Structure 1
Amino acid sequence: MDKLPDTHSPSLENDVGAAIRELRKRHELTIAQLSEQTGVSRGMLSKIETGQTTASLDTLARIARALGVSMAMLFSRYDAVGASAQHIKKGAGMEVVRRGTKSGHTYHLLSYDTGPTKLFEPFLITMDDDSQRYPTFHHPGSEFIYMLEGELEYRCGQQTYLLEPGDSLTFQGTVPHGPEKLHRFPIKFLSVIVYPQAQEG
């Protein structure tokens, strides 16, 4: 008896890869041409399109830019196949390459926003190394931090705040912010960025 496909657990990698392949063909681009435009190797692009690997958000952003679409479009198939909820298993969040990410500093994106505009980004951030200084971040919208493990000082503008497990911090993302001093490892906290939405006229 043939095994029925599991419609309850669509593969994010397969759906993103299929969306990229469909968009590339719609633009009549070869993998070699897309590779040249994005700086991503042909082998990596092939693996992404066939769902054999998970691409970083930095790579997906370059692909989306080359295809002339928002990054949300790359997740549209996953959103359509799934139900009204998005379930990310422990350890399955996409690892994000962002400015400031170094060895021992890990950012996992816990939800992939698939709407026409980016509403929010929830990260699970883990730090177990303090060998290098952190850069200062700033972005649109508001940010909410909830401390899970460890202890650190977090800078927001001219102020620093000591964050311990159970503490939270909320601030405007346009204010320069970032970790200032790491006191007790391992450090783990949730960071949720909520982006401003255009008002409907």
Structure 2
Amino acid sequence: MLSETLTTELERYRIGPRIRALRKKKKLGLVQLSEHTGLSPAMLSKIERGQLFPTLPTLVRIALVFGVDLGHFFNKEGPRIAVTRRGERVRLPIPAGDARPSYFLESLDYPLAERRMEAFLADFPSDAVASAPHQHGAQEFVYVLSGTLRVDVDGEQTTLGEGDAIAFDSDATHSYQRDGTDSCRAIVVTLT
């Protein structure tokens, strides 16, 4: 039995409807496709209706009949969209395993494959310590939703309040520290 998350991810590829479209284009019935693939018509029908997800060997059999490669079933058509529901996000402590993490991150765009940016909701608890200095690539953008955040970029400290934002080259060493006594919450976007 597949988890709801795996099922949702697999449904996004619309493999069943792609198989049905190929079958209709070749003017094949389910029985005829069954004869070519060695798969039962009932199984093929369930795959086409999205009630069953094919294994890779099964998908290869189908692909061979239609003369397409596996990429045909995994290339997305149309706009790439990622919806991340509040209850589906995973909250990760940074650094992982620390008794008092500096902050918690929740990915806001993890379902989007091959993304060029990463967006996070960052929570800085009231008892959080400063994060370790780090660097990671191209650029970063931070927008403070609530509280006060101190951002240190290459030794230069900037204090941000609610509604303030900062953008910087994230190949420079940087760190974060909640400022004041209240917790802080921010949106952090990094370019990959």
The TM-score with structure 2 as length reference comes to 0.54
Q: Which runs of 5+ in 1 are unaligned?
A: 1-9, 18-75, 196-201
Deviations 1:40-65 (A, max 9, x none): xxxxxxxxxxxxxxxxxxxxxxxxxx
Could you say which structure has the larger radius of gyration? 2
Contact persistence 1:100–1:134 (CA under 8 A): no
TM superposition shift of 1:86: 1.6
Q: Please state whether the residue corresponding to 1:185 is helix, strand or coil.
A: coil
Query: Which residue matches 2:157?
Result: 160
Alignment match, 1:150? 147
Question: 182, 185, 189: which is aligned to 1:185?
Answer: 182
| Distance (whole Å) between structure 1 residues aligned to residue 133 and residue 158 of structure 2 | 15
Unaligned runs of 5+ in 2: 11-72
CA distance in structure 1 between the partners assigned to 2:177 and 2:136 by the alignment: 18
> What amino acid is the match of 2:157?
T
Instruction: Confirm or deny that 1:132 pairs with 2:129.
Output: yes
User: Partners in 2 of 1:99 and 1:128 — Cα distance?
Assistant: 14
TM-score, normalization: structure 1? Answer: 0.52
Give distance in 2, aligned partners of 1:136 and 1:184: 22
- In the alignment, is the contact (CA less than 8 A) between 1:100 and 1:135 conserved in 2? no
Q: Structure 1 vs Structure 2: percent identity of aligned residues? A: 17
Task: Write the mapping of 1:101-116 to structure 2, written as runs, cut at 5 A.
Answer: 102=98, 103=100, 105-112=103-110, 113-115=112-114
Letter in 1 for 2:105: Y
User: Deviations for 1:124-157, whole angstroms, at most 9, x for unmatched residues?
Assistant: 0011133534211200110000000001211011
- Cα deviation for residue 178 of structure 1 reads 1.1
Residue of structure 1 in register with 2:65 after alignment = none
Residue in structure 1 matching 2:5, options 12, 15, 21: 12
